[in-house]
Structure 1
C-alpha cells in the first residue's frame, strides 16, 4: 500500500513534515507563516531554513504544493529534506556547505488544497494564476487563467492576492531578494512525458533577461551529470503562456528594483503523463493524473530528483565559479540560447 496516498481524514505530507522537524531539532529553523482554516482546523504553512544566516550568503529556495493535487511536488522535497537532516549527523562536506549557503523551503504552500486534493486553494483560486501579471499576446482560454468562475479550472481570483500567494511572496522577499545570488526551484507535476525544468517567462514569448545564465546552469548540469538527460530545460513560454504567474511577478519585481544581485526562479514539471502511460488504470482516478500511484514507482520518483536538488544547492554556494559575469561570456551563452530556443530571432 502507498502510505502517501491521501485519505479523507489525514494529510500524510504534513505528518511527515512535522516528524522531520522533531528529528531535526535546532538544525532546521522553522516558522509557521500562515494558518489556513479548513473544516474546523487550522492547517499550518511551514517555512524551513537551514544553513548560513549571513545577509550576504547566496540563497537556494525550494517550493512545493502550490497546486494541491500535485502532491508529488511536496513529497519529493520532503524526501530530500529527510536526506539532508540524516546526513547532517555525519556528512562533514554538507556541514561545510551549509556554512556558505542559505536554504529556504516552503514544502506545502497550498496546504488547504493538499487537504482537499484539489489544484486550487480552498477559495477555489489557482495560485499560479493569482498574481497581478497580464500575459502578452495570445493566451489559450481558460488555461492561461480566467475570472469567469471559481467552478472552472485555472480561476485567477478577484484582483487580489490569496493568503497563500502573499505568504510565498513575503518569504521570497525576506529571504531571497536583495542577495548577491538566489535561485528558486518550484516543484510541480502534470505536463507531458518528460521532466521539464522551466524558467521565465510564463507571461510572454519574449527572450528572458537571464537567458545566458540559464544556459550556463544547463551546461554545468549536463556536463556534471551526463546520464541525467531525462530533464528538458527550456523557457516555459515555448509550451504556453499564462496570466498571473507568481514567479513572473517576483522576477519582474526584482528586475524593476534595479538590485545588482541575481535572482532566477525555475519550475520543475515532472512528466506525469509517463506514469499514466505505464499504468493506464490511473486514468480512472483524478489523483492518478498527477501523481505516481504504485509504491515502487513512487519510490523511484522520490529518489529521481535528489541529484538535481543537491546540484542546485551546490551551484548556489559556488555561483561565482560558473555564473557568466564578463560580457563576452554572457554574449556567448545568450547566443547559444537564442539558437536553441529562439531560432527566428530574439
Structure 2
C-alpha cells in the first residue's frame, strides 16, 4: 500500500498539517525536529511558528498528539492554525498582533501512536510518563506511570534510560523556544478524563503549590472575567490524580533556574460527555477519547477556539498585566481556592 494512501486513511492529520504549511507559505517558519521510524516508514515531527522572530518577545506554544489515541487535541490545534493562516491574507489587526508575539505549533508529537490508535509511541512508552520525575505521594497504580512492561498502558520506560525521541525533542525545543523568552505559555491538548473541560497546571508529581501560583490565579481570573459563560474547571492536576514522569513538571522545574515566567497548561477535554450521548462509540478503537459524530467534532473544534485566542492575547499583553499583579494577595487567594482542604 503506498504511504500516501495509508496516511490518508490512518493519519490524515499529518497530511492536513503539511497542506497547511504549504498554504501558510512565507508567513510561517517550519522545521522538522526529528523523524521517528515504524515498519520501514519514517514520520516527521513538525514545529511551525508564526509571528515575531525576535528573541525578546513572549511565546505561546500549542502542543497536541502526545497521546496518539487523543487525536481531537491535534485537530483542535489544526483548526486554530488554519484559521490564523487564512486570516493572515486579509486581517491587518492580526499582523499587528503577531508583530510582538511568537506562536509555536507542535500539533502532532506522536504520529506513530496516532497511526496505531495508541496512547503510547512506537516503543510502547507513554510520553507523558517519560520524564525523569518521580511523584511524591499517593500515585494511582498503573495510571500514574509504571515500569512493569510496555505491554501495559502508562509505561514510563526503563529506569535510568534516556527519554524517548519524541519526549526528548519536545523538551529540547521548549527549552530553546519558550524558556529563553521573557514570558511564555504552553497549552497541551488532551482528551479522555471526566465529563468537564478542564485546564490543569503543575504539579502532577505533588500537591505542592508552584512558585508561579499567583500568575496562574491571575490568568484564571482574567479568563473568568473576560468570558463569564465559559465552563472550564481550572485547577492543579494533582487535585485530580498524581503521576510520575510528567513532561511539564520537568520543564517547569527547569524554568525556575532561569530568568523567565513559564506557565504550562493542559487542556483536558472531557470525553465522557461524548460517550454519554453516544454509548456505542466505546466499541470503536478511539471512541473513549474522540467525539466520533461529525457534528460533535465540529462543536469541539469551535468550542476551544475562544480559549486559545484568549491565551494568545494574554501572552502578547503580558507586559501590561503582569507588572500589575499583587502576588501576595493572588497567592493567598489561590492557596485558599486550591490547597486548603
TM-score normalised according to structure 2 size = 0.95
Q: How many residues align?
A: 334
CA contact (8 A) 1:212 1:324 kept: no
- The alpha carbon displacement at 1:260 in A equals 2.1
- The alpha carbon displacement at 1:137 in A equals 1.6
Structural mapping, 1:1-346, within 5 Å: 9-158=9-158, 159-228=161-230, 230-255=231-256, 257=257, 259-323=258-322, 329-344=326-341
**Residue by residue, what CA displacement relative to the aligned partner does 1:218-271 show, whole Å, maximum 9, x if unpaired?**
11111111121x11100000011100000100001111x2x2211110000000
CA contact (8 A) 1:130 1:160 kept: no
**Deviation >6 Å, runs of 4+:** none
Give the secondary-structure state (helix, strand or coil) at the position aligned to 2:10: coil
Counterpart CA distance in 2 for 1:134 and 1:21 is: 38
Q: CA RMSD in A?
A: 1.3
Quickly say closer, same or farther: Cα 1:136–1:307, change in 2 above 3 A. Answer: same
Unaligned stretches of 5+ residues in structure 1: 1-5
CA contact (8 A) 2:190 2:268 kept: yes
**Residue by residue, what CA displacement relative to the aligned partner does 1:110-157 show, whole Å, maximum 9, x if unpaired?**
111011110000000000000000001221111110000000110001
CA contact (8 A) 2:33 2:169 kept: yes
CA contact (8 A) 2:117 2:285 kept: no
**Residue by residue, what CA displacement relative to the aligned partner does 1:15-58 show, whole Å, maximum 9, x if unpaired?**
11011011111111110111111222111110000011111000
- The alpha carbon displacement at 1:286 in A equals 3.2
**Residue by residue, what CA displacement relative to the aligned partner does 1:278-308 show, whole Å, maximum 9, x if unpaired?**
1111122231100010000000001111111
Counterpart CA distance in 2 for 1:137 and 1:222 is: 31
Quickly say closer, same or farther: Cα 1:282–1:324, change in 2 above 3 A. Answer: farther
TM-score normalised according to structure 1 size = 0.94
CA contact (8 A) 2:183 2:262 kept: yes
CA contact (8 A) 1:202 1:241 kept: yes
